[in-house]
């Protein structure tokens, strides 16, 4: 018995900006398009920083809330006839069958847009207190939740510096800890942190242990000389950036870089025929993990998937 005709022209795995961008362009082209997303549509825009005002999204000089960008993308994809299912993908195989907890789907092309998630660090006490609002977080999703609290923020990049600044006006005190001697974040934000009355910076220092029975009570810090100190804290933000969500395509044999991100060419094609990748899961975007980059890659992947599957006369 021959293979059944694929149900979809393109299956997009992941409903963040990259996946939704690809979906919009696929829908516009009249492709039968399916987006599968296990969490919330919008990806990090909705589950990590919905209330954040995004200042680097072109066309919005005053900035625009992350959640609003996500809502607009979802609405536009639906308007173009894209099918969107809230299903968690378990695996993708080289026959372009995508298997979820609910069923399996076949496509002529697959676009992987699984993005990334905050890095779990493995500090003593972290795993015990990072669930159910017990005081260990990886991102400042809602600054008001930290109102009047003493917060230790750890990390040296934009995520950490942004977190400290987001807490500056709500927390009673912010201690920003970084193991190196300088920050690698936007200069003017670093200056704001160093000039702040409320943010206390401790360089060449790291978090050794997070302590507390029911919730975070204190943090043990250790400096480069090995001197330990304990500081009282109500919350800890471990802002060490993001790691790629690459578990579901481990068996696919895609070429990955040293960080576990997918290597693609200029058409967003991966090393496996018919499989494309877009957004934060793609190697080589460097630190340009921007919404606009994911959207652009989504457009490029959708365009080439269309040329390959629909074979228009002009393609």
Nearest to 88 by CA among 44, 22, 50, 40: 40
- In this prediction the pTM is 0.88
Q: What pLDDT sits at residue 287?
A: 61
Nearest to 107 by CA among 6, 2, 14: 6
CA angle, residues 205, 123, 227, in degrees to nearest 5: 30
Please give the class, per CATH, of domain 120-238.
alpha beta
pLDDT tens digits, residue range 59-90?
999 999 999 999 999 999 999 999 999 999 99
pLDDT along the chain (315 residues), means of 10: 75 98 98 97 92 91 96 98 97 94 96 95 96 94 94 95 95 97 93 97 98 97 97 97 92 92 97 96 80 97 96 84
Q: What pLDDT sits at residue 4?
A: 62
Q: Are strands 218-223 and 205-211 parallel, antiparallel or unpaired?
A: antiparallel
- Distance (Å, rounded) from C-alpha 10 to C-alpha 224? 52
**CA torsion, ordered 158, 163, 166, 169, to nearest 10 deg:** -130
- The answer to whether 8-117+242-310 and 120-238 have equal CATH topology is yes
Q: What pLDDT sits at residue 177?
A: 98
User: Could you give the count of Cα atoms lying within 13 Å of 104 in the half-sphere of its Cβ?
Assistant: 12
User: Could you give the count of Cα atoms lying within 13 Å of 271 in the half-sphere of its Cβ?
Assistant: 11
- Distance (Å, rounded) from C-alpha 263 to C-alpha 123? 31
| SS3 (DSSP) at 232 | strand
Sign of the C-alpha dihedral computed for residues 11, 17, 23 and 26 taken in this order: negative
Tokens 């899961």 correspond to what residue?
281
pLDDT tens digits, residue range 131-173?
999 999 999 988 999 999 999 999 999 889 999 999 999 999 9
Q: Are strands 116-118 and 136-137 parallel, antiparallel or unpaired?
A: unpaired
Long-range contacts of the stretch 221-229 (C-beta < 8 A, 24+):
221/152, 221/177, 224/179
DSSP of 145-201:
GGTT-EEEEE-SSHHHHHHHHHHTTTSSEEEEEESSSS--S-HHHHHHHHH-SSEEE
CATH code, residues 8-117+242-310: 3.50.50.60
Strand-by-strand arrangement of the 218-223 sheet: 205-211, 218-223, 228-232
Q: What pLDDT sits at residue 49?
A: 87
Contact between 137 and 171 under an 8 Å Cβ cutoff? The reply is no
Q: What pLDDT sits at residue 52?
A: 86
| Helix or strand holding residue 51 (H, E) | none
Contact between 309 and 130 under an 8 Å Cβ cutoff? The reply is no
Domain ranges of the chain: 8-117+242-310, 120-238
């Amino acid at each position: 018995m021959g293979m059944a005709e694929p149900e979809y022209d393109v299956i997009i795995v992941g409903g963040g900006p990259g996946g939704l961008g690809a979906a919009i362009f696929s829908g516009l082209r009249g492709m039968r398009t399916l987006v599968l997303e296990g969490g919330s549509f919008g990806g990090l825009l909705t589950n990590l920083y919905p209330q954040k005002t995004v200042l680097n999204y072109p066309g919005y000089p005053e900035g625009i809330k992350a959640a609003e960008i996500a809502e607009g993308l979802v609405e536009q994809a639906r308007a173009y006839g894209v099918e969107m299912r809230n299903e968690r993908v378990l695996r993708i195989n080289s026959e372009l069958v995508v298997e979820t907890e609910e069923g399996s789907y076949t496509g002529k092309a697959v676009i992987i847009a699984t993005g990334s998630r905050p890095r779990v660090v493995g500090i003593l006490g972290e795993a015990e207190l990072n669930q159910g609002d017990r005081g260990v977080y990886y991102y400042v999703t809602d600054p008001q939740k930290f109102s009047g609290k003493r917060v230790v923020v750890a990390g040296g990049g934009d995520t950490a510096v942004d977190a400290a600044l987001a807490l500056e006006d709500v927390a009673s005190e912010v201690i920003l800890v970084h193991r190196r001697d300088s920050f690698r974040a936007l200069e003017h934000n670093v200056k704001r942190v160093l000039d702040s009355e409320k943010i206390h910076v401790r360089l060449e220092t790291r978090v050794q242990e997070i302590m507390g029975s029911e919730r975070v009570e204190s943090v043990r810090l250790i400096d480069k000389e090995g001197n330990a100190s304990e500081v009282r804290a109500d919350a800890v933000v471990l802002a060490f950036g993001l790691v790629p969500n690459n578990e579901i395509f481990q068996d696919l044999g895609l070429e990955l870089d040293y960080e576990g991100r997918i290597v693609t060419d200029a058409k967003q094609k991966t090393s496996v025929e018919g499989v494309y990748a877009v957004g934060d899961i793609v190697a080589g975007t460097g630190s340009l993990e921007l919404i606009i980059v994911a959207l652009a890659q989504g457009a490029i992947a959708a365009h080439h998937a269309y040329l390959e599957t629909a074979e228009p006369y002009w393609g």
